[in-house]
Amino acid sequence: MHAVVHQVERNWRLVERRLDPVVQQLVERCGSAAHLVPDTLLVARDMVENHGPSRQGYITSCEVDDAITTLVASPLLSALVEPRVAAAAARCRHCQPHQPLRLVTCNRSGSSAEGLDDLSIGKGGTSDYDIMLEFDGPFRWAPPGAEPADIEPRSAPQLWARPTDNDGFVTLHWVRTARCGHEEPLEALPADSVRRMMLDLCRVGMSGEITPTGPAVNVWSPGDKDGGIDLVCCLLVRGWWPEPGWSDGAPWDTSFGVHLVPRGRPGSKTEFIEYRISLSRAELLAVRQLWPGLRAAVTSLKAIKNILKESGVAIGDLKSYFIKTAALWLAQETPGGAQTGVTDGVHRLLDWLEQRLAEGWLPCFFYPAINVAAELTTDRQQAIIGSLRLWYHHKMSGSHPQQCYLFMAWSVVDPADLADAEPMTSPVGDAVTLDVTPLTRLLTESDLDDLLGDLATVVAWWGRQLRRPPAERPAGLTAELDTPRGQAELLLRPELLLRALSEAVPWKMDWCREEDRKVKEDWVGNFRPPDTYQWCRQGFEEDLSSHLLCRLRVNLPEMDGPTAIATAGLWRRRLQQLLTGDRLRAAYDAAVGRWPDRWQLLQYYLAEDDTQGKTFAGAAARVSL
């Protein structure tokens, strides 16, 4: 115990040096009640900034951009894939397709899509961007599981996923036909070959530090604070769900299916041809159903991890995926239970992780037979457990700037101050609303001066308006500004507040406009319009006029001479074909002219108005996985 206390004190000294002085003052002022700040503010922040429809709108806009990226990458991708197909060791014209894989769509996944990242517009963050590149081909899927019987040639090609000895991993094979001369189903799309193809595509077509990481290829630009972009090749097996049922008998809709990513179980006898089942789409939907406080607890725990890491504290090998898995299980194990706050949520996440890691089994939420920590050695598990125990003793929470900015607003709230307000049941649900007017009497003059810029000038302007006949006053102005009702009218009516500032304190309006301009520039820098047709055409023409063979030899020095020559020639032909006539225009219009929803997520945020034939924002009654 003495050793733990010593480590806590040492680690706190390391972390304390990195905290803003204002944060340290905040901690000292709050004392034992400091946890109430994140318990209120981080929940509110998640509710405001992590709104499901807006998050989906962001993803949809990204997918439009990604559709153009897919178009731009298609000639090079085709040139890299086709020679590999032709050179495959085992070929059968009866059961295998003649055309190679093609890139169908790109979909955002992981923390940035789920709302569990730490990214801020204009400021960045440490989270990475996960993009799943979905490939498809001229084949159908046979039912996974037992080996299917031979099929007629006209029904080929069919792809079959054979389970391995390790839950969650499969190998792919072409279903034999009645005319095939081989006795065993041929291997299909070996995972190792697909990973190499993805790595080569990034090395030739992208810049930055390019590193294979598991099933993904990470592309990171030196100097960036974030973790870069993780590009993951995947295949969609529609309609298949590997877990036969759910313990509580809930009516899960599993019709969408699962993805397969090229990643084998280390040490498996079929490691280099295996695919791992990915439940990214189901997890994305599930995370969006979590209580905001639990999502805030996840992001806070990840912030703790980053703060400790940057402070030089050993944090073990705790992955963000483990934290997310813990949150999903906590929500499942305590449905509708009391939610006591973000700080308590952090503690419960730490407790759950420590218990499961001590048991040596951290079950996947949607497929409990999979141990997501299976690749951790005993020593690494113990190192994580040690870090978790230290984190629990630290009892810290993240997002310190938000705590500082909004502390005053929280610190004045007391249930007794709401006694005069009559609760009212909201007509749109079970939410209860209260009149905010009693809270305004808690505002000090310095608070109002900070909000308004010059309180005395605004009070004088307000008094002049009140002396005018009611019909000539600004709308909504009825009470003196030194009363709670008058302050509520000013602060809670945007049009009235803007008019008061523009006429009484114009410099404050100028300051607000300048702040708006800065925010706008931050957004513009992150969310640019899609690349134009002219930009795409110019890029293709520049590629066509460049020395393609030289680019291949520089970026892929291990590629042998004949293969490099063949690949460069095919790359050039695909560019020429796309630039012929109006093919590029048609391809570009098709890419940007559709509403991308390959993962079928919009149904949870848009509903069809049968009377008008239009869509409108709405909520889904159930979650389809």
- What is the set of domains in the chain, with CATH numbers? 2-34+290-405 (1.10.1410), 88-283 (3.30.460), 443-526 (no CATH), 533-592 (no CATH)
**Residue 357: predicted pLDDT:** 85
Give all strands (DSSP E) within 398-523, no chain letters.
Answer: 424-425, 432-433
- Which residues, in sequence order, are CB contacts of 424 under 8 Å at separation 6+? 432, 433, 434
Q: Is 529 exposed, middle or buried (0-12, 13-18, 19+ CB in 10 A)?
A: exposed
**Residue tagged 């590193």 (tokens):** 211
Between CA 603 and CA 60 the distance in angstroms is: 13
Rg (the chain; Cα; Å): 29
- DSSP-derived pairing of the beta strands 129-136 and 229-237: parallel
CB atoms within 10 A of CB 517: 10
**Residue 120: predicted pLDDT:** 57
What DSSP assignment string belongs to 93-153?
Answer: TTTS-SS--EEEEEEEEHHHHHT-S--BTTTB-S--EEEEEEEE-S-EEPPSSSPPPPB-G
- DSSP-derived pairing of the beta strands 158-163 and 258-261: unpaired
Strand partners, 133: 106, 233
Asked if residue 178 lies in contact with residue 54, where contact means CB atoms within 8 angstroms, the answer is no
H or E segment at 163?
strand 158-163
Residues in the chain with pLDDT values less than 70: 1-20, 23, 48, 85-90, 119-125, 243-252, 311-316, 335-340, 377-378, 380-442, 519-520, 522-528, 606-625
CB atoms within 10 A of CB 464: 12
Q: Specify the length of the chain in residues.
A: 625
Asked if residue 46 lies in contact with residue 292, where contact means CB atoms within 8 angstroms, the answer is yes
DSSP state of 215: T
Q: Both tokens of residue 454?
A: 């010059």
- DSSP-derived pairing of the beta strands 229-237 and 258-261: antiparallel
pLDDT digits (tens, 9 = 90+) for 138-183: 889 988 878 899 999 899 899 999 999 988 999 999 999 999 989 8
Strand partners, 237: 258
Q: Both tokens of residue 405?
A: 């900015």
pLDDT digits (tens, 9 = 90+) for 85-107: 666 656 788 898 877 788 888 89
Q: Both tokens of residue 65?
A: 């951009």
Between CA 113 and CA 55 the distance in angstroms is: 7
Compute φ and ψ for 312, nearest 5 degrees.
90, 15
**Residue 617: predicted pLDDT:** 39
- Which residues, in sequence order, are CB contacts of 522 under 8 Å at separation 6+? 121, 122, 123
Asked if residue 304 lies in contact with residue 200, where contact means CB atoms within 8 angstroms, the answer is no
User: Comparing C-alpha atoms, which of 274, 258, 197 is closest to residue 231?
Assistant: 197
**Residue 246: predicted pLDDT:** 58
Between CA 90 and CA 183 the distance in angstroms is: 12
User: Which of helix, strand or coil describes residue 418?
Assistant: helix
Asked if residue 366 lies in contact with residue 259, where contact means CB atoms within 8 angstroms, the answer is no
**Residue 555: predicted pLDDT:** 92
Determine the distance from the C-alpha atom of residue 293 to the mean position of all C-alpha atoms in its chain, rounded to a whole number. Answer: 17
Determine the distance from the C-alpha atom of residue 535 to the mean position of all C-alpha atoms in its chain, rounded to a whole number. Answer: 28
CB atoms within 10 A of CB 387: 22
- For the whole model, what pTM was predicted? 0.74
b/e map 70-82, b = 16+ CB within 10 Å? bbbbbbbbbbbbb
